[in-house]
Chains A and B, each alone.
Chain A
Amino acid sequence: MSSQTRADGAVDEAVEVTYREAVRLAFDDELASDPTVVLLGEDIAAAGGPFKTTEGLFEKYGGDRVIDTPIAENGFCGMALGMAMTGMRPVVEIMFSDFLPTAYDAIAMEMPRLRFMSGGQTSAPVTVRASGGGGGRFGAQTSSTGESWFLQFLGLQIAVSGSPQSAYGLLRTAIRENNPVVVFEHKALHGVKGPLVRGDTGLPKIGEAEVVREGSDVTVVGSLLMVHRALEASGTLAAEGIDAEVIDIRWVRPLDLPAIRQSLEKTGRLVVLEEQYHEGGWGSAVVSRLTEAGFSWQNPPVLVSMPDVLISHSPPLEDLMIPSVERIEDAVRTAVSG
């Protein structure tokens, strides 16, 4: 997307920004457009955020809009829910995805259930943001993507940002959504640059995947860093005559099965890339749902995920864990050889 035409005819041109800057711009635009939007998290105010995604916002919007919290995730997520039910649109930052389990009650058991339990009397427009994923040599308690941990908690929408444009658009869509949304970012992408069209038009819809590379031979579906690596692999594969279509799922819930199926009808071959363990992940849901819906597999789907080992900070070990560009290329070759 290099430009976008607004309703009034004005054209928003794409600019090159980092993923981190795209997050900051999404916050800036939402804070500017809705006075009930507030950000809460650890070190996000004067310090600008542990991943520098809130730099300058405290200075611009003040301490009532950009609020430093104590290190008390369950407490401030529960408070954010109380705020969301009483007229505000809070966004909480959880820093590392691995810290999400400390707030499991607030996020999994309270946010998505109080509306249902009340028979629809209330809603919870709250966004939870977390940065996860490996590659930083952070070790076992600060390297998970966490993207599938909340799959069983119906009522939560779950977004995964694979590019600066997605990081910007998904976050703004999440903040505007009237239901709780968990937005996952990837630490290794924060410094990655890409085109960004800023503005209110063209914000992604809930549950809408994006075809980030069109191709005809094989459908490669991934999230977060895996999208980035799939695009990198697609160049090498193209040189070998393999034309890969790459889909960034963008939403773990709801999954865009129609988009994946549409691509599969064209290519007939599927590779699923997950930076997580296979069991209980969204990848198996893709395969089971397509199978159940009657998709006839001419070639077995190829599922790439992490081996059943915990992540170490030791570089050679971590590199074996996170699906690499080479491993993705091999998986695609396997898929098309059938």
Chain B
Amino acid sequence: MRGLVPGTVHLAQGHEGVAVGAHAALEAEDWVVCTYRGHHHSLARGMGLEPLFAEIMGRTTGACRGMGGSSYVTDFSLGMLGSPAIIGAAVPLGAGAAMSAKLLGQNRISVTFFGDGACNIGAFHEALNMAQLWKVPGVFVIENNQYGEYTPYRKSTALVADIANRGDAYGMANTVVDGQDAVAVYEVVAEARARAIAGEGPTLIEAKTYRYRGHSRTDPGTYRPDGELDAWKARDPIDILGARLEEAGILSTAERDFLWEEVQAMVDEASDRAETGAWPSLEEAESYVLAD
């Protein structure tokens, strides 16, 4: 351990299918809100590796000038509005961005990503109620990774069947999708986007996925039953997409292996560059408190 990453991190290995599939269905002008577990969304939306790493390392060369860190990394130029750490806070934020698009008559939507753990807090219900009431062009994606922090979601969530069905209570279109299959996620998000743009209102999507790592840096995830992690890894979203591409004759096994090596080299290089970034100054921090 070289101590390059201060504080905590919330990793998203296992969630890649949700991010890659969903962002492929979005347009550049769409708004995106995610949460403190958001590295995959930053990358899938188009953030460079170096600004992401530099941000996580607290350097002024980071995407948020070193003010945010792993949890809050975001890029407004990519339409990303933020990634709050407060559970549920993302949902009204995304609903509000969609409300703007509606009131300003813009041809764009907002997509909000949050976890299964956010579905039991008031902000989720309040925002979904208003989103449907006002038929805002929003897509709300639950990344159900099976655990709210350390607790299986079934132990904290009273359900008829799936979390997505909570949309029924608001008359909101809703669906469940296999979050390990990026193509399946792409299809439901693209359909939800088309409905939103057509003025047909918001959609609640539950993408079933899995968090390979613990909740945060300090959590080894020992509460998971034996074999559960391996069973999910057997349906790894990167492997599934790779197999689909190979089947379609788009990417051979050799090309995939080459890509893995290329990506690893890019990651190493970006990480090396990121750690040479300067530390932010107090004057910089002061300048970010208030806008002019």
Contact = CB atoms under 8 A, between A and B. Distances in A.
Chain B associates with chain A: yes
A152 interface: no
A80 interface: yes
B180 interface: no
Nearest to A109: B86
Contacts of B133: 70
Contacts, number: 151
Contacts of B86: 105, 109-110
Interface string B83-106: 010101101111111111101100
B96 A78 contact: yes
B99 A79 contact: yes
Contact of B82 (A36, A74, A120, A122): A122
Contact of B84 (A69, A70, A77, A110): A110
A110 B72 CA distance: 12
Given A82-B110, A179-B290, A87 B75 contact: no
Contacts of A33: none
B127 A154 contact: no
A118 B96 contact: no
A132 interface: no
A64 interface: yes
A260 interface: no
A114 B84 contact: yes
B130 A116 contact: no
Contact of A75 (B31, B65, B67, B129): B129
Nearest to A65: B103
A119 B64 contact: yes
Interface string A106-123: 100110001111111111
A78 B93 contact: yes
Contacts of B65: 119-120
A85 B31 CA distance: 10
Contacts of A120: 65, 67, 287-288, 291
Contacts of A36: 104
A109 B82 CA distance: 13
Contact of B97 (A72, A83, A178): A83
A155 B126 contact: no
Interface string B29-71: 0010100000000000000000000000000001111111000
A321 interface: no
Interface string A305-318: 00000000000000
A40 to B, nearest CB: 9
A5 B285 CA distance: 40
B67 A82 contact: no
Given A115-B288, A122-B82, A109 B99 contact: no
Given A64-B103, A117-B64, A119-B66, A155 B290 contact: yes
Contacts of A75: 92, 95, 122-123, 125-127, 129-130
A96 interface: no
Interface residues of A, number: 39
A78 B33 CA distance: 12
A119 B288 contact: yes
A36 B126 CA distance: 24
B93 A110 contact: yes
Contacts of A80: 96
Contact of B74 (A82, A118, A155, A179): A118
Nearest to A88: B100
A106 B66 CA distance: 23
A86 B92 contact: no
B230 interface: no
B82 A77 contact: no
A243 to B, nearest CB: 38
A192 to B, nearest CB: 32
A105 B89 contact: yes
Contacts of A78: 89, 91-93, 95-96, 123, 126-127
A117 B187 CA distance: 33
Given A118-B64, A118-B68, A70 B89 contact: no
B163 interface: no
A70 B126 contact: yes
Interface in A52-89: 64, 69-70, 72, 74-88
B67 A77 contact: no
Contacts of A76: 92, 126, 130
Given A38-B103, A118-B72, 20 more contacts: A69-B130, A74-B92, A78-B89, A79-B93, A79-B130, A82-B33, A82-B81, A82-B93, A82-B94, A82-B96, A82-B98, A83-B97, A85-B93, A114-B82, A116-B289, A117-B72, A118-B76, A120-B67, A121-B74, A178-B292
Instruction: Please give me the 9 A-B residue pairs with the lowest Cβ-Cβ distance, nearest first.
Output: A82-B96, A75-B126, A78-B92, A119-B65, A123-B291, A79-B96, A72-B126, A119-B64, A121-B76
30 contacts: A69-B130, A70-B126, A72-B130, A75-B95, A75-B129, A77-B92, A78-B93, A81-B96, A82-B33, A82-B92, A82-B96, A85-B96, A87-B100, A105-B123, A109-B89, A114-B82, A114-B84, A115-B289, A115-B291, A117-B67, A118-B64, A118-B72, A119-B66, A120-B67, A120-B287, A120-B288, A121-B76, A122-B82, A123-B291, A155-B289
Interface of A: 36, 38, 64, 69-70, 72, 74-88, 105-106, 109-110, 114-123, 154-155, 178-179
